[in-house]
Amino acid sequence: MTGSAYPESGGAEAQKGGTEVRIFFKGFVGKVADRYRKMSIQMVISLSFTAVAVVGMVFMGMSMYLRFSTTTHSMAEDNSQRVLAQVNANLESYLHRMMRVSDTMYYRVIKHTDLAEGGFQEGMDLLYEENRDSLVSIAVFDRSGGLVSAVPLSNMKSSAVPSASGWFQSAMAKMENLHFSTPHIQNLFEDPDYRYRWVVSLSRYVQLTRDGVTESGVLLVDMSFAGIEQVCQGVELTNGGYLYLMDSDGELIYHPRQQLIYAGLLEENNLAAAGYRDGTRRETFQGQARQITVKTVGYTGWKLVGVVPAQQMGADTWQTLLFGLALLLFSVFLMAFLNFRISAHITDPILRLEQAVKELEAGTENVEIEEGGCYEVQRLGHSIRSMVSTMHHLMDDIIQQESQKRRSELEVLQSQINPHFLYNTLDSVIWMTEAGRYEEAIQMVTSLARLFRISLSRGKRIIPLADELEHARHYMTIQQIRFKNKFTSQISAGPGTEGLYTLKLIVQPILENAIYHGMASAEEDGFITVAARRDGEDLVIEVADNGMGMRPEVAASLLDEDRPDVRTTGSGIGVRNVHRRIQLTFGKQYGLMIFSEPDEGTTVQIRLPALDREGLAAYEREVME
């Protein structure tokens, strides 16, 4: 009993504290609301404008700050990538030159020399003289590590064991590859100048010929590390950044502070960077944030790493932030003063208008309504008098919007593409490809691409007649391949139709009906014709087939507005939708006429105005007005 009293006491204290907070918050909100109700419109506008302006400026300032910070990092990233790309190109050029030396030595000297008849010395001397500015030595060893030939140094040290070297073992283990070593001191040959030469070794497996018998060997090209060091030296990145070069295992090849790292006075995060992919990333090393950009050097697997300290990039950002805060404070004071003056200019006419409305509510006649102040206040009185007229205009707008809505619906119908037609066409392409019928597959894909390009027509509803007939021609090409040439087609344009324009996608739906309803059950070879001709001031396009046909009353009912819609195989647009689109666009005197007899085929006649370029321009101006 005694122990349970403490939790009950704590719960009561918490409940009491929560109640006091709610009472305080409710009272504070009530005071703010009461003061707001007593404020004049001038004060409300002034404070609102100031608050909105302050919030807007803070938002814009933060956006600009973030944008500046992002841009700074992005510029540093782009700079690092550009610099690394240039250094990478220089390194690849240098390494490729060494690879050409190795290829030339192997394929033009070693491959064409029998050691029983001669040696490599002449060819090696020539290669060395041509590339002596970047080469230290060229040497050939047999499979046991014995020296076969070398230039310019030929006296091998007694302590040298080439077969135990990493470059020798790598070449013998992976015979198809070229192998680049990390920088090391050339310690194979006696140097008369007693110089320690830093080199990078390029080794490869070669086949030596002796008495017509081939045996294994290794070609070694030692290139001067000074060439690589010269490419990397003097490269500077933004904000005090630097770059270094390492192999795929993280072993340093070049570093601007390489001596300090070898002496243990400085550390680099090269082992972790060896696992980074190409690109830019952030890392924290020894408590410092850094931007790291990695670029892999071709042929070798070496990696160029660019390092840019993030603290340096952030220094300019903080200076910009402090400047922005100072500018914000000054702007707030200036904005508050201007808002107070502007709000007074805005609210005085509204207050006078409010007084006039109160007088009207009290029944006062001949109240003079002042039309002063801003444009909106001036228009307020005039708007009341023109209210009835505006309602009539609104009704007209509604009618126009309904008409536009109907036209838009038909435009949506026009833009639809039958997915079954697309799927069947792609299935046919897959089938023909698997069957080895590549030419037909290419023809079908080409026709499908051109059909879609003409269907889009850059969003235009009226296109050249030639494009519409070309669209029909590609469509028939696809269908003839799909139906295995069960029918043939002929598309022609008569004299006088050159340069005429037509509504888009009005022939394809007619062709679809001719194929699926006229040709599907035909026992003999089908034949479909599309012919365009000039008929006075009209353009007539006739689509005829020799299919099964239909009764004249059935053909007449296809264009009946009261006939219920029936979903059939086709584009989804349908003959009646084509008829509607033509009449909505050009008037009731145009559209479709269908002539058909059972077992004699069907002819669909499309009648349009004969629009040339000038007629089309006049029509578009009329539509815009």
pLDDT by residue (tens digit) across 365-405? 666 666 666 666 666 655 544 433 453 366 567 767 766 76
Percent of the chain with pLDDT over 70: 75
Mean pLDDT over 91-104 rounds to: 87
* Mean pLDDT, range 165-169, rounded to an integer: 87
Question: Among candidates 285, 278, 138, 124, which has minimal Cα distance to 203?
Answer: 138
Lowest mean pLDDT across 85-94, 352-361, 388-397, 526-535: 388-397
pLDDT score, position 623: 67
User: Does 299 score more than 60 pLDDT?
Assistant: yes
Residue 126, in any domain of the structure:
no
Amino acid, res. 481: I
Mean model confidence pLDDT for the chain: 78
**Looking at 93-97, 449-453, 503-507, which range is the least confident one?**
449-453
Q: Is position 254 within any domain? A: no
Looking at residue 385, what is its pLDDT? 41
Task: Assess whether pLDDT exceeds 60 at residue 114.
Answer: yes
Predicted local confidence at residue 539, as pLDDT: 94
Cα–Cα distance, 242 to 307 (Å, whole number): 5
Mean pLDDT, range 455-474, rounded to an integer: 82
Spatial CA neighbour of 307 closest among 272, 283, 278: 283
Q: Which two tokens stand for residue 528?
A: 């479909």
21 lies in some domain: yes
Determine the pLDDT at residue 318. Answer: 62
Which stretch, 58-62, 71-75, 288-292, has highest mean pLDDT? 288-292
pLDDT at 388: 31
Q: Residue 609 and residue 589: Cα distance in Å, rounded?
A: 10
Alpha helices in 111-179 (DSSP H): 121-130, 166-173
Backbone dihedral region for residue 532 (phi beyond 0: left; psi -120 to 50: alpha; all else: beta): beta
What is the per-residue pLDDT for 508? Answer: 86
pLDDT at 384: 42
Quote the tokens at residue 489.
């087609």
Q: What pLDDT shows up at residue 414?
A: 54
Q: Which residue in the block uniquely carries the two structure tokens 């198809």?
A: 176
Q: Tell me how far CA of residue 273 lies from CA of 206, 242, 251, 296, 432, in angstroms.
A: 34, 14, 10, 12, 50
Q: Which pLDDT value is given to residue 556?
A: 80
Amino acid at 460: K
Give the 3-state secondary structure of residue 522.
Answer: coil
Quote the pLDDT of residue 426.
79
What single DSSP character describes residue 183?
P
**Range scoring the smallest mean pLDDT among 18-32, 104-118, 425-439:** 18-32
Q: Answer yes or no: is 433 within a domain.
A: yes
Q: Does 6 fall in a domain? A: yes
pLDDT at 406: 58
- Is residue 480 a part of any domain in this protein? yes
pTM value?
A: 0.43
Given this model, what pLDDT does residue 1 score? 43
Longest dimension (CA), the chain: 130
The pLDDT score that the predictor gives to residue 320 is 67
Whether the pLDDT of residue 96 is over 80: the answer is yes
Angle in degrees, 0-180, between the axes of helices 387-415 and 375-385, rounded to the nearest 10: 100
Residue 454 confidence (pLDDT) above 50: yes
- Tokens describing residue 5: 């009293």
Q: In this predicted model, which residue has the larger pLDDT, 530 or 13?
A: 530
Query: What's residue 532's pLDDT?
Result: 95
DSSP-based three-state secondary structure for 284 = strand
Lowest mean pLDDT among 43-57, 213-227, 435-449: 43-57
The residue-averaged pLDDT of 81-86 equals 86
pLDDT over 60 (residue 311): yes
- pLDDT at position 2 is 44
Question: Which of 564-584 are b and which e, b meaning 16 or more Cβ less than 10 Å from the residue's Cβ?
Answer: eeeeeebbbbbbbbbbbbbeb
pLDDT for the residue numbered 533: 94
> Any long-range contacts for 105-111 (C-beta under 8 Å, 24+ apart)?
105/138, 105/219, 105/221, 106/204, 106/206, 106/219, 110/140, 110/206, 110/207, 110/208, 110/217, 110/219, 111/207, 111/209
Assess if residue 510 is contained within a domain. yes
Do residues 497 and 539 touch, judged by C-beta distance below 8 A?
yes
Instruction: Please report, for the domain that includes residue 530, its CATH number.
Output: 3.30.565.10
The residue-averaged pLDDT of 285-299 equals: 85
Q: Is the pLDDT score of 593 beyond 60?
A: yes
- Domain holding 25, by residue range, is 1-35
CA atoms within 13 A on the CB side of 486: 18
Q: What is the pLDDT of residues 522-581, one digit of tens each?
A: 666 788 999 999 999 999 999 999 888 888 888 888 887 766 655 555 443 578 888 888
The two tokens of residue 619 are: 């029509």
Question: Which residue, 472, 468, 503, is CA-closest to 580?
Answer: 503
> pLDDT by residue (tens digit) across 259-269?
888 888 888 88
Over residues 233-257, the mean pLDDT reads 84
State the pLDDT at residue 372.
63
Q: How many domains does the chain have?
A: 2
Q: Where does the pLDDT of residue 5 fall: very low under 50, low under 70, confident under 90, or very high at 90 and above? A: very low
Q: What is the pLDDT of residue 375?
A: 63
Residue 399 covered by a domain: no
